[in-house]
Amino acid sequence: MVEPSSKDISPATATVDVVVVGAGFSGLYLLHKLRQLGFSTRVLEAAGDVGGTWYWNRYPGARCDIPTTDYTYSFDPDLEKAWTWSEKYATQPEILRYAQFVAERYDLRRDIDFDTRVVAARWDDEAEHWQVRTDTGRDIRCRYYVMASGCLSLPKTPDIPGAERFKGEVFFTSRWPHEGVDFSGKRVAVIGTGSSGIQSIPIMARQASQLTVFQRTPNFSIPAGNGPVRPERRAPLEADREAYRREAKWSRAGVPNEQTQVYGRYSPPQVHRERFEAAWQSGELIPMLAVFADQILFRDANAIVAGMVHEKIREVVQDPQLAELLSPRDHPFGTKRPCLDSGYYATFNLPHVRLVDLRRHPIETITETGIALAGETMAFDAIVYATGFDAMTGAIVSVDITGRDGITLKQKWAHGPQTYLGLMAAGFPNLFTITGPGSPSVLSNMMVSIEQHVDWLADCLVRLRADGMTTIEPTETAETGWVTHVNDCAGITLYPTADSWYMGANVPGKPRGFLPYVGGVDAYRGACDEVAACDYLGFRRS
């Protein structure tokens, strides 16, 4: 075991117990935890500071979509007492301040190399360590290597012809300038109507002289009803914080919520309406995803929810044709991540805001001065790409990770990610992923899933140390079984029917397959605990 003295390690020749890629919420908690357990740990982060998602995504209107009272660390009760969220859904600057507060409170920055991108990592079977290469030219060796590199951290490169030609200002929601952007008096194009577009469009519309929204697929969006944290949300937390957090950990999606037994297809319209309105008024995604027990299983049940959202859109958007264009018809509700908005649909009633339906009028090319459709060319001062991410696997395989026998993870995952429990892959000893493909991850409150993975991993390393062992790797049998289970669970739902980033369908050439585990945070936690309790069943340790 390497001595736990990471702060004294010279990065040029360093060897540590654990290298962690990423200083978002995953990397920060991992560093804190491993340090407490006496493992020397170095975090390598491409950004200039901590925060991950909340460092990069500074676009106007960026907020969380899980209430911040839930989207928060729970590992230290004193930390919980030391921080109070100002709103139901905190803004990006506030969440970033929280990450910075955590980094300061536990003195984490001294073990993080910022502005350092990991480009490659190679397993040395004889020495039983990973050799990690960075873009600064400094290498670092470690026994355990953790990709805490984020599920939504690698922006999709624009796959639109002529994108490089445009001479005006270009922005990506996922890489927003730190100094902010003033669109006053400008003609602005926004491409993309996922969560990032839907959050930012109403704010950009307040500044721009003209705002043109290029929509390929309409998305379902729910009014966030933001404001101070509601008393009914605060009360259970304040009454018994420990019980509340425990309930979250053993819930379906990482937030305490009723597990309904009401089936849409077997209940009367009055029940449909009551349950839908209650969920809609909550302004929260998880209740909206659980109006009926069967809404993600059967199209008829799902159509009840979708139809009522369509009604809501028609109530707000004055022009019926526009309302129809904004109404998703191509995918069942929830099979793409629904959005939370503040005034999104009403924005389209403004005279200077225009919606372009890319299904009927595809972009022919981006030009030096604007965007050309068949038969129409529009001039813009700025183009905003809200076009999303190479989700879940992108950041992992963008690092050239070579495991046992010279096989890269990219090669292994060429037809889709293969993992055991979303934590490890056969052929890649001592490599862990946090909230990786095959785990509940993006289908859950990520804070709960991050903490669960970090705790499991930390326990695993402690057990290896206690047992005098130095390597761990899943067996191919266990991995195949888990992948089958992940696919079987997804297969009984409607999720695979949508062209979503959950399916890898947003990135040209990416293999199609449902990436996260849909079996629930509770079932998943149970499986991970059981595997550990059974002497790491399905893993080979030595």
Separation CA 449–CA 346 (nearest Å): 35
CB of 343 to ligand FAD, least distance (A): 18
Q: Are 42 and 134 in contact (CB under 8 A)?
A: no
191 binds, among ligand N01, ligand FAD, none (CB under 5 to 8 A by kind): ligand N01
Residue 191 in contact with ligand N01, rule: CB under 6 A:
yes
With contacts defined by CB under 6 A, name the span among 93-101, 102-110, 192-200, 421-429 that binds ligand N01.
192-200
Residue partners of 255: CB distance under 8 A and separation at least 6: 66, 67, 70, 248, 286, 445, 448
CB of 333 to ligand N01, least distance (A): 14
> Within 330-349, which residues bind ligand N01 (CB under 6 A)?
337, 340
71 by Cβ neighbours in 10 Å (0-12 / 13-18 / 19+) ranks as buried
Residue 255 in contact with ligand FAD, rule: CB under 6 A:
no
Using the rule CB under 6 A, which residue among 90, 154, 189, 386 binds ligand N01? 386
21 binds, among ligand FAD, ligand N01, none (CB under 5 to 8 A by kind): ligand FAD
- Written as six digits, the tokens of 186 are 């400008």
314 binds, among ligand FAD, ligand N01, none (CB under 5 to 8 A by kind): none
Using the rule CB under 6 A, which residue among 301, 446, 478, 528 binds ligand FAD? 446
Residue 510 in contact with ligand N01, rule: CB under 6 A:
no
Using the rule CB under 6 A, which residue among 16, 21, 248, 460 binds ligand FAD? 21
Using the rule CB under 6 A, which residue among 140, 142, 160, 486 binds ligand N01? 160
CB of 372 to ligand FAD, least distance (A): 30
Residue 399 in contact with ligand FAD, rule: CB under 6 A:
yes
Q: What is the DSSP string of 325-367?
A: HTS--SS-TTSS--EEESSHHHHTTSTTEEEEETTTS-EEEE-
Helix (H) or strand (E) holding 532: helix 521-533
With contacts defined by CB under 6 A, name the span among 102-110, 297-305, 383-391, 427-435 that binds ligand N01.
383-391
Handedness of CA 94, 98, 104, 109 (dihedral sign): negative
The secondary structure of the chain in percent helix, strand, coil, rounded to multiples of 5, reads: 35, 20, 45
Fill in the amino acid letter for 28.
L
CB of 368 to ligand N01, least distance (A): 19
> Within 147-186, which residues bind ligand FAD (CB under 6 A)?
148-153
Nearest CA among 498, 503, 494, 413 for reference residue 147: 413
Residue 521 in contact with ligand FAD, rule: CB under 6 A:
no
> Within 482-501, which residues bind ligand N01 (CB under 6 A)?
501
Helix (H) or strand (E) holding 539: strand 539-541
81 versus 178: smaller Cβ distance to ligand N01: 178
Separation CA 408–CA 416 (nearest Å): 13
Residue 212 in contact with ligand FAD, rule: CB under 6 A:
no
Using the rule CB under 6 A, which residue among 6, 17, 52, 353 binds ligand FAD? 52
> Within 201-230, which residues bind ligand N01 (CB under 6 A)?
216-217
> Within 99-138, which residues bind ligand FAD (CB under 6 A)?
117-118
> Within 420-439, which residues bind ligand FAD (CB under 6 A)?
434-435
Helix (H) or strand (E) holding 364: strand 363-366
Phi, psi (degrees; rounded to nearest 5) at 59:
-65, 155
The SS3 assignment for 352 reads coil
Instruction: Enumerate the β-bridge partners of residue 340.
Output: 222
CB of 30 to ligand FAD, least distance (A): 9
Give the per-residue SS3 of 195-254: HHHHHHHHHHHHHCCEEEEEECCCCCEEECCCCCCCHHHHHHHHHCHHHHHHHHHCCCCC
Fill in the amino acid letter for 517.
Y
With contacts defined by CB under 6 A, name the span among 225-233, 293-301, 319-327, 444-452 that binds ligand FAD.
444-452
Residue 65 in contact with ligand FAD, rule: CB under 6 A:
yes
Phi, psi (degrees; rounded to nearest 5) at 337:
-65, 120
Using the rule CB under 6 A, which residue among 104, 135, 159, 488 binds ligand N01? 159
- Written as six digits, the tokens of 388 are 């999303």
Helix (H) or strand (E) holding 315: helix 299-316
Q: Are 135 and 116 in contact (CB under 8 A)?
A: yes
428 versus 502: smaller Cβ distance to ligand N01: 502
Q: What is the binding site for ligand N01 (CB under 6 A)?
A: 64-65, 152, 159-160, 173, 191-197, 199, 216-217, 337, 340, 358, 386-389, 442, 501, 506
Q: What is the binding site for ligand FAD (CB under 6 A)?
A: 21-27, 44-47, 52-53, 55, 57, 62, 64-66, 71, 117-118, 148-153, 196, 395, 399, 434-435, 445-446, 450
